[in-house]
Amino acid sequence: MMSLRQQAPEFDKTIAYQAGRDDFVRVSLADYRKKWVVLFFYPRDFTFVCPTELKEFARLEEEFEKYHTAILACSTDSEWSHKNWFERDLAMVKYPIVADTTHDISRAYGVLAADGASERGTFIIDPEGNLRWFMVSDNAVGRSVKEVLRAVQALQTGERCPVEWEPGQNTLGKG
């Protein structure tokens, strides 16, 4: 079982689809050291709820970048499935889409379902590679990308933040 403030499970040179690249890319969590990372898992390509989330992360990607935060998506579908779906329906998505065909990453993060798909999990990892926030929800309900951004912003204050805290509001001091 993963714990907060512990090292996030590593993955190394895993194949991913990324828009605008001629070939598939290889992605390692270590590539993102010195940055915050939002790693989110979604169940399957060519589904109904997943594209709403993928599009919303793409729409807010510049906001995440303002907070030195990279976005990585992951499902157990192949890189070829990702390529076909994203080029057809999700051209606005520019961040890497990891192909966890071995299920190793989903298993390491505790989101591998019995049917071989990933559960709808979201993980925020700090620049040192520590897991700082996570949420896993029912696959029927899309996650709030704005809440993920708010959590990144709150974590980066280094202070205690009350319910519904937003940037510019008072915090509750050091934790």
**pLDDT 10s digits, 116-159:** 999 999 999 999 999 999 999 999 999 999 999 999 999 999 99
Contact 36, 126 (CB under 8 A): yes
Concerning whether 74 is annotated as a catalytic residue, the answer is no
Q: In this structure, which amino acid lies at residue 30?
A: A
**What average pLDDT does range 49-66 have in this prediction?**
98
Question: Which has more pLDDT, 175 or 162?
Answer: 162
* Residue of 16, 50, 125, 149 with catalytic role: 50
Spatial separation of the C-alpha atoms in residues 107 and 112, rounded to whole Å: 5
Which tens digits make up the pLDDT trace of 64-120?
999 999 999 999 999 999 999 999 999 999 999 999 999 999 999 999 999 999 999
Tell whether the model's pLDDT for residue 2 goes beyond 80: no
For residue 1, the model assigns a pLDDT of 64
Q: Is pLDDT of 51 > 70? A: yes
CATH number of 14-157: 3.40.30.10
Q: How far is the CA of 172 from the CAs of 3, 63, 169, in angstroms?
A: 24, 24, 10
Cα separation values, 165 from 36, 44, 48, 159, Å: 20, 33, 31, 11
Q: pTM of whole model > 0.85?
A: yes
Residues 6+ apart with CB under 8 A from 107: none
The per-residue pLDDT for 55 is: 98
Return the ∠ at Cα 87 (arms to 81 and 93), rounded to 5°.
Answer: 100
